[in-house]
Each structure stands twice: as structure tokens, then as C-alpha cells.
Amino acid sequence: MSSIKIECVMGEKLRIGESPLWEEKEGTLLFVDITGQKVYRWNPASNNLQTVSVEAPVGSVALRNSGSYVVALGNKFGILKWEDQSVTTIAHVDEDKPNNRFNDGKVDPGGRFFAGTMAQELQPAVVERNQGSLFVLLADHSVITHFDKVDISNGMDWSLDHKTFFYIDSLSYSVDAFDYDVTTANISNRRCLYRLGKEECLPDGMCIDIEGKLWIACYNGGRVIRIDPETGKNIQTVKLPVDKVTSCCFGGKDYSEMYVTSASDGMDDQWAARQPQSGCIFKVS
């Protein structure tokens, strides 16, 4: 990425765009609008945009081998069948915390679905603290709880050798690393890899690139940053024309493009007028 091009490619204004994911087989980008309670499938080549409305805030979506999707919806894991727009619940979490909802999630290198929860926000980034947990959905639909006392469970990914799990609890302003055992999904030895600076603001979604470097979406920081997990240093900053940058993933031909989601919830009229593309999806190439 020596000379960088940033384009707004999907102009529908989402409330909280999140969980972008490239579906290679279809050549489509999947993503959710959390508070808009929708899952989207968008084909950049044809610009065809499909939507499924769901009955609760949807934090994340992931692919299944069978062609359907798994969603982290409200306080449930569900299977989404696109053809009949149906969601079937397969597991519940946080049943003692009716104000909680799922947030970001991702499939690990062993095919398990990791997703975390948080208390519903009173306004963006304002939550009752310590209410969330990080969960793992296994193939047999049983659920493991990795840890609790999370403020806003957010971005995650795994190192290319599968030995490290990277995780963000947004209000800690930190990107953390754990040792990872891909045979058992065990995590251990939590440490801070990178602490966000003032201008970077809140860490939100993240993804890893083919060189093993991490890309972090900076909510209210208007940028994505590239972190070297070996040195814990910021090695690149890419600014976007909106402040509420929420998540990122690689996709497109040979995964050579980065798609970045954004949000529009929580902006007053003046702020929204200054950044009319808030809530859109950007392509960085």
C-alpha cells in the first residue's frame, strides 16, 4: 500500500456498520448494522445489496461450511439461512443479564466461532462496565466462556501460525495478546501489545494481514492503524473521511483490498453534516 486510495463504495448509511467479512465463493462482502438490526450481503462487482432484517441487535456474522451463516444476535447464537431469511437459535448466553447483547465475533483457525458481549450502550461507548464476556461456540453448539468482566468486547484475530490470539476490550484502550492453543481453544498469558494514543481514540474491530501485522479500526479516531505484533509499534496510519471507524477486513481479488466499516449513531447534526459519509463502507486499496 504505497500510494493509497480511499473510496466510499457502499453509500447506504448504516447506524453501526460492523463485522465485515469477505465471502470468497460469492465474491461478496458480508457485514451487519448492529443497531439497525440487519445483516447485509453486498456484491462490489454488480453493486447488488441484499438485506436480512433480524429481531435484535446483531453484533457479528460468520460463514459456515454448509453455506448458511452463524450470527451473534441479542444474547443468542443463531443460524441464518439467507434463502428463507430465517434465524434459528442454537445457544443462549448471559441469561442473567437481560441488558447485555453480543458484539464483535470471528471464526478461529479451528472453525470455532468466538464472540463477546457487552451491556447495551446508553450512548456510544457509554456502558455499565464489566458486564461482558468472551464466548466460544463449538461445532456441537456447546458454548465455552473464556472470561468475564469485559466492558465492550470487540475486535479479535489470530496470528498466522495460530499460536497467538489478539483481542480488544475497547474501554481498556489496549490491544491484547494471549497464547493460543488451536487444538483446545485454550487461551493464556494475557498481555498488552499496544496502547492507543489520544488521537487514535478507541480500538474497535481488527484484522490480520498476510504479513502477520494487525489492522485496528479506531472508533472516534477516524483511521485504521497497522501494528507490528513483534515490536508492539504502530507502523502505518490510514486516515478515513469519517471519525466513527468501526472495523476492517481484507477482500476482493486476491484479498488485495481492505474494506472498512463505519457508524453514524451518536453524532449530532453538525458532526453528521461535516462527515456525510458516516455509516458508509470504504475501500482502501
By annotation, the residues acting in catalysis are 204
d(CA 140, CA 22): 25
Q: Which is nearer to Zn ion, 3 or 220 (CB)?
A: 220
CB of 101 to Zn ion, least distance (A): 12
- Contact positions with Zn ion (CB under 5 A) in 86-105: 104
Residue type, 123: Q
Could you tell me the CA-to-CA distances from 229 to 21, 91, 158, 220, 284 in Å, in that order?
22, 34, 11, 23, 22
Residue type, 216: I
Long-range contacts at 191-198 (CB < 8 A, ≥ 24 apart):
193/166, 193/227, 193/229, 193/232, 194/227, 194/232, 194/233, 194/234, 196/221
Counting contacts by CB under 5 A, is residue 33 touching Zn ion? Answer: no
Stretch that binds ligand GCO, among 85-93, 106-114, 117-125, 184-192 (CB under 6 A): 117-125
Q: Which is nearer to ligand GCO, 45 or 122 (CB)?
A: 122
d(CA 193, CA 183): 24
- Contact positions with ligand GCO (CB under 6 A) in 148-207: 152, 154, 170, 202, 204
Residue from 100, 133, 172, 246 binding ligand GCO (CB under 6 A): 246
d(CA 61, CA 106): 8
- Contact positions with ligand GCO (CB under 6 A) in 21-80: 34
User: In the chain, helix, strand, coil percent, each to 5?
Assistant: 5, 55, 40
> Per-residue contact track with Zn ion, 180 to 199, x per CB under 5 A?
--------------------
Measure the CA angle with vertex 134, ends 172 and 153; round to 5°: 35
Counting contacts by CB under 5 A, is residue 204 touching Zn ion? Answer: yes
CB of 35 to Zn ion, least distance (A): 12
> Per-residue contact track with ligand GCO, 1 to 20, x per CB under 6 A?
---------------x-x--
User: Where does this chain bind Zn ion (CB under 5 A)?
Assistant: 104, 154, 204-205
